Chains A and B, each alone.
Chain A
């Protein structure tokens, strides 16, 4: 696909749409918008802050007419390269539209603009006794529309589902400029093909999300939490499998940190315990029930012989544990200059095999001297984030990292029947694996869907499921 350059005339038209102060071409700003949290980079030609769906519509009409790439961006916390404008063009910074428009505690819904930060939404909802359960580790920074675009999931997905399960409706601007509302404000509605679910996880390829209607979930009365440290990765994985396949109650969280990650994250959170493979187990609900469930889960984990085990002493101790878990990725940046986080899922019964094979990747690469491998994630639903820690500035190390990705996805995850992404999306970095996971026919359908929405392929081109 050939795209046209952003000319001074285009810049002038953009300024007419959103106002002079909401358009920038300064090289310093373009540099900052050239990256997300991956190692990839490409500068846009211009960054624009639209304030309304109508402005987004005008920008997309212009871009569609002129065949200029447009990349929507939330907080830029992506770990898949999704917001990187690899073809240049226009970046839409949607993070400044950050108002919570209405909390409806009678109909149990909330309406937000695209740029509301997940944790800030939950701070506000808590005042009303509710929460929005999807809880990615990036929740201190990521935006709701970014979560929708990636179908983010996080720590509590096992029990509460992913973002998809909480979205009632979306206001979306299509690449051709039409503004549509998908779904309904009602809890149930089957009067439409499920465009909402199609948009959720579409990685900014089918439309630009400008407003989101979410369901509200009542805050649980109590959390009961414990953690266990195991000597081997297999013991930790077996404990997780034992909890998931034995208990009739679904834990709120069943999280994992490998030894490397435990060391870095506990250091950040000020936790002083033996270092090993950590499992964090959490149940929520009525106090008696949650505590009883934890007791049952505790006994199951004990059977895999943890070297350390403890129930969280109080809310502060629990917060400390969750802080460590949530900070796992950036805490790994303490070890080496670069952290590249991957995202894979397997059935839970295959976790011990997968987790062990992942631990062996640096040795397979002969890279133990310059590469650490963090691994952490939502082991309760089979989702792990192997994280390569190295130095992106050294070409040899970059090459080894790419080989490591191939081993992870092609030699470990796909042969086990897993998926190459559980919650981060295909983005720029995993496109090469989707043919193998889904087959030619499925990929052809996905590309057809993309073409239907975006005939000129202007929206977030060159990546994702339809790119």
Chain B
């Protein structure tokens, strides 16, 4: 066994993990039972421990990068449960993303992710929708300058437009005089590209979005999407993007602030019982657990926690990390499992502050006739307050 990177290594992005990081995984397996993909995998490579072994094998020259390894590594939703659970502190998500970047360079990326990259190059969104239609959900012309910028994101712009409308509705309710912007030229934040190993294009998107943000004069950026939030708040800095100290808030964080300031109040006293799903990119990745719950509770909503699988131990909806694009059945299987966990609460409504989680969970509920209505948290708040 050797740890010497091979000459002219094919694994440039993984190499920095070779000496120490990959060795942290001592195969204790703590990460395995609750990994969303382990639930429907046959072999150990369907678990984080197995994936770390594959990476170690490649770095040590014991395994050659292969289609099979790529398949196993791309099945991961990058939900981050394993990273949170790992007592040794293995940076599993960073390692998976670095491995994917190297595999993509070697021509072992997933086809659907290449299509996504192409669509983003052409239409600025991964869904292949026309860029001119990005704000078609809005019934009026949107302001392009203001202290507060609403970064809508691709899912809310095209697939979960209820989220975009509800967010705007709430922003207008609190800011009747204006002072906010929604940029029609907004581009994909780059999240899906970063998660799937297409880093160069992601960086270009980040740079362009940074220009738009600066041009809008925003002092605060808010987004209703957990993926956009993680990307703009965490990844842009890692990519060396300077946003001039602008404050970045997930929309429920802003809602919580507005409620505390008395700017937002419930309009009716209807008793609503919900259960709450933590989006991985908001919870484990960014440690935002309390604010969305606080918002609901302050508005009189009863929040029933999913037993033993909430906050840090929340199960992934299955869609993230490029999984829904490439392995839709797996994404829906994970979502179905999550909905079954949610059913244990007795609540008939599940809310989550992420349009991508909403989209995937809603489809799984419909497909499996699960009696659970799935809403973006923002939609519910708009219903209560406007």
Contacts and interface: CB of A to CB of B under 8 A. Distances in A.
Contacts of B366: none
Contact of A32 (B26, B54, B85, B87): B54
B27 A140 contact: no
Interface in A156-176: none
A31 B69 CA distance: 12
B29 A75 contact: yes
A372 to B, nearest CB: 14
Contact of A76 (B1, B44, B88, B89): B44
Contact of B28 (A24, A77, A93): A77
Contacts of B29: 37, 75-77, 138, 140-142
Contacts of B308: 123
Nearest to B51: A32
Nearest to B3: A393
A332 B87 CA distance: 8
Interface stretch (B60-68, B133-141, B296-304, B331-339): B60-68
Interface residues of A, number: 43
A117 interface: yes
B42 interface: yes
Contacts of A47: 43
B32 A75 contact: yes
Given A75-B29, A93-B43, A141-B30, A28 B66 contact: yes
A49 B42 contact: yes
A29 interface: yes
Contact of A28 (B24, B26, B33, B68): B68
B99 interface: no
A144 B39 CA distance: 18
A228 B261 CA distance: 45
Contact of B88 (A117, A123, A142, A333): A333
A299 interface: no
Most buried by B among A37, A140, A268: A140
Given A119-B33, A120-B33, A141-B33, A393 B1 contact: yes
Contact of B53 (A31, A117, A265): A31
B88 A330 contact: yes
Contacts of B54: 28, 31-32
B86 interface: yes
Given A24-B43, A331-B87, A333-B88, A76 B33 contact: no
A337 B72 CA distance: 25
A338 B45 CA distance: 21
Contacts of B68: 26, 28
Given A21-B42, A29-B43, A334 B89 contact: yes
Q: Per DSSP, are chain B's interface residues mostly helix, strand or loop, or mixed?
A: loop
Interface string A387-414: 0000101000000000000000000000
A26 B32 CA distance: 21
A150 interface: no
A431 B66 CA distance: 38
A117 B33 CA distance: 8
Interface string A328-356: 01111110011100000000000000000
A141 B38 CA distance: 12
Interface in B32-79: 32-33, 42-45, 50, 53-54, 57, 62-63, 66, 68-69, 72
Interface string A246-259: 00000000000000
A357 interface: no
A81 to B, nearest CB: 12
Given A21-B42, A76-B44, A338 B23 contact: yes
Q: Per DSSP, are chain A's interface residues mostly helix, strand or loop, or mixed?
A: mixed
B271 interface: no
Contacts of A75: 29, 32
Contacts of A41: 1
B26 A37 contact: yes
A27 B89 CA distance: 28
Contacts of B30: 140-141, 327, 330
Contacts of B367: none
Interface string A261-272: 000010010000
A391 B30 CA distance: 22
Interface in A306-345: 327, 329-334, 337-339
A396 B31 CA distance: 32
B89 A141 contact: no
A391 B22 CA distance: 13
Contacts of B23: 333, 337-338, 391
Contacts of A338: 23, 26
A283 interface: no
Contact of A33 (B25, B26, B44): B44
A37 B62 CA distance: 18
B66 to A, nearest CB: 7
A330 B44 contact: no
B224 to A, nearest CB: 31
Contact of B27 (A22, A27, A31, A36): A36
B44 A333 contact: no
B26 A330 contact: yes
A21 B31 CA distance: 24
A77 B27 CA distance: 7
Nearest to A24: B43
Contacts of A49: 42
Contact of A140 (B2, B25, B33, B89): B33
A65 to B, nearest CB: 26
Interface string A115-139: 0010110010000000000000010
B43 A330 contact: no
Most buried by B among A47, A330, A338: A330
A31 B26 contact: no
Interface string A1-45: 000000000000000000001101011110111011100010000
Interface string A32-71: 1101110001000001010000000000000000000000
Nearest to A268: B87
Most buried by B among A41, A265, A327: A327
Contacts of A77: 27-29
Contacts of A393: 1-3
A28 B72 contact: yes
A339 B54 CA distance: 19
Interface string B182-195: 00000000000000
Most buried by A among B24, B28, B308: B28
A348 to B, nearest CB: 28
A28 B72 CA distance: 10
A96 interface: yes
Given A28-B66, A29-B44, 14 more contacts: A28-B54, A28-B57, A33-B44, A36-B27, A37-B27, A41-B1, A142-B29, A330-B88, A331-B87, A333-B26, A334-B24, A334-B87, A334-B89, A391-B23
Interface of A: 21-22, 24, 26-29, 31-33, 35-37, 41, 47, 49, 75-77, 93, 96, 117, 119-120, 123, 138, 140-142, 265, 268, 327, 329-334, 337-339, 391, 393
12 contacts: A21-B42, A28-B54, A31-B54, A37-B28, A76-B44, A77-B29, A119-B33, A265-B87, A327-B30, A333-B23, A338-B26, A393-B1
